[in-house]
Amino acid sequence: MSTVLDTSFFFGDFPVEGDLFTVPSVLDELKDIRAKGNFEKWCARGLRVQSPTEEGRKRVISAARTTKDVSVISGTDQDLLALALDLGADLHTDDFAIQNIALLLGVRTVPILQRKARRVHWKYRCSGCGRYGEQDGECPVCGASIKRKLK
């Protein structure tokens, strides 16, 4: 079984088996010495660093638009999801937005330290006039900020 590892996996010492993968941008997110050491340890055990396909990325962005998580997932999050999709792999993550998109894509997620996320539906509502919008930002009607909220 293949497994894709999110950045948060490397901040602790967690058991995992199988063919292990992560994406190159995870390296940029590893700031402390312990996380970098854990990463090196897993590399010595066979962890492979691989980029996802462009097709996988496109599917992730499309799904993120559908779940309305597109404004909160990073490029690294997109790559992790796309690689898990490409490989048909499990994704170890605690990120709720990633898990929300993964549910739509059919990617199995495994929580690292937190509870497993449930499917969430978002709406965007102006904090000033209360109108609904398609994304966060500034309300075109009154100029107040549009916020993401649970449906």
- The pLDDT profile of the chain, 151 residues, written as one tens digit per residue, is 899 999 999 998 888 999 999 999 999 999 999 999 999 999 999 999 999 999 999 999 999 998 888 888 999 999 999 999 999 999 999 888 899 999 999 999 999 876 565 666 677 788 888 888 777 788 888 888 888 776 6
CATH, domain range 2-110 = 3.40.50.1010
Taking each helix axis from N to C end, the angle separating 75-87 and 96-105, rounded to the nearest 10 degrees, works out to 30
Domain boundaries, the chain: 2-110, 121-151
* 83 Cβ contact partners less than 8 Å away, ≥ 6 residues apart: 4, 21, 22, 23, 50, 51, 52, 56, 89
Q: Which pTM value belongs to this model? A: 0.77
Q: May I ask the CATH architecture of the domain 121-151?
A: Single Sheet (2.20)
Provide DSSP, 52-88: PPHHHHHHHHHHHHHHT-TTT--HHHHHHHHHHHHHT
